[in-house]
Structure 1
Amino acid sequence: MKKVHRILGICLLAATVNTAYACELTPKKSKIEPIIAQATITHKKEKADNNTVKIALLLDTSNSMDGLINQAKSQLWDIVNKFTHAKCGNDSRPQLQIALYQYGNDNLSSKEGYIQQVLDFSNDLDEISEKLFSLTTNGGEEYCGQVIQTSLKQLDWGKNPDNLKMIFIAGNEPFTQGKLNYKDAVTNATEKDVVVNTIFCGNYEQGINGDWKKGATLTGGEYMAIDHNKRIVHIDTPYDDIIIKLNGKLNKTYISYGSLGASKMAMQAEQDANAEALEETVIVKRAVSKSSRMYKNSSWDLVDAMDDKDFDVSEIKKEQLPAELQGKSTSEIERYIETKKRERADIQKEIQELNSKREVYIAENQKENAKGELENAMLEAIKKQAEKKNYKWD
Structure 2
Amino acid sequence: MAECTNGEFLKLDQNAKDYSIATPYDSEINNISKDIDASRIYYGTNEEREKNYKKKAKSMEVYEKGSVTANSSRAEYKNSKVGKKSAFGSQEIIKDYKVGKLKLDTVEDERLPEELKGKSTTEKENFIKDLIIKRDSNDKKLKELIKKKNAYIKSQKNNQKDTTSFSKEVFKIMEKQAKT
TM-score (norm 1): 0.39
Q: Give the unaligned 5+ runs of structure 2.
A: none
C-alpha distance in 2, partners of 1:278/1:362?
A: 20
Q: Give the unaligned 5+ runs of structure 1.
A: 1-174, 176-197, 199-212, 217-221, 385-394
- Residues 252/278 of structure 1: CA separation in 2 closer, same or farther (3 Å cut): closer
Identify the residue that residue 284 of structure 1 maps to in structure 2: 72
1:237–1:358: 8 Å Cα contact kept in structure 2? yes
2:25 aligned with 1:236, yes or no? no
> What is the CA deviation profile of residues 86-133 of structure 1, one whole-angstrom value per residue up to 9, with x for unaligned ones?
xxxxxxxxxxxxxxxxxxxxxxxxxxxxxxxxxxxxxxxxxxxxxxxx
- Residues 324/377 of structure 1: CA separation in 2 closer, same or farther (3 Å cut): same
**CA displacement at 1:380 relative to structure 2:** 2.7
2:37 aligned with 1:251, yes or no? yes
Structure 1 stretch displaced more, 373-382 or 267-276: 267-276
- Name the SS of the counterpart of 2:9 in structure 1: strand
Pick from 293, 304, 312: which aligns with 2:95? 304
2:59 aligned with 1:271, yes or no? yes
1:319–1:326: 8 Å Cα contact kept in structure 2? yes
TM-score (norm 2): 0.78
**Counterparts of residues 120-135 of structure 1 (less than 5 Å):** none
Q: By percentage of residues, which structure has more strand?
A: 1
C-alpha distance in 1, partners of 2:59/2:22?
A: 21
Count of aligned positions: 168
Amino acid at match of 2:54: A
**CA displacement at 1:287 relative to structure 2:** 1.7
**CA displacement at 1:274 relative to structure 2:** 3.9
- Residues 322/225 of structure 1: CA separation in 2 closer, same or farther (3 Å cut): same
C-alpha distance in 2, partners of 1:236/1:317?
A: 47
Q: Which has the higher contact order (CA 8 A, sep 6+)?
A: 2
C-alpha distance in 2, partners of 1:364/1:276?
A: 29
Q: By percentage of residues, which structure has more helix?
A: 2
2:115 aligned with 1:319, yes or no? no
**CA displacement at 1:316 relative to structure 2:** 1.8
**Counterparts of residues 111-190 of structure 1 (less than 5 Å):** 175=1
C-alpha distance in 1, partners of 2:91/2:17?
A: 37
- Residues 281/227 of structure 1: CA separation in 2 closer, same or farther (3 Å cut): farther
C-alpha distance in 2, partners of 1:298/1:248?
A: 15
- Residues 269/288 of structure 1: CA separation in 2 closer, same or farther (3 Å cut): farther
1:261–1:301: 8 Å Cα contact kept in structure 2? no
Percent of residue pairs identical: 24
1:272–1:283: 8 Å Cα contact kept in structure 2? no
- Residues 266/310 of structure 1: CA separation in 2 closer, same or farther (3 Å cut): closer
1:257–1:320: 8 Å Cα contact kept in structure 2? yes
* RMSD across aligned positions (CA): 2.5
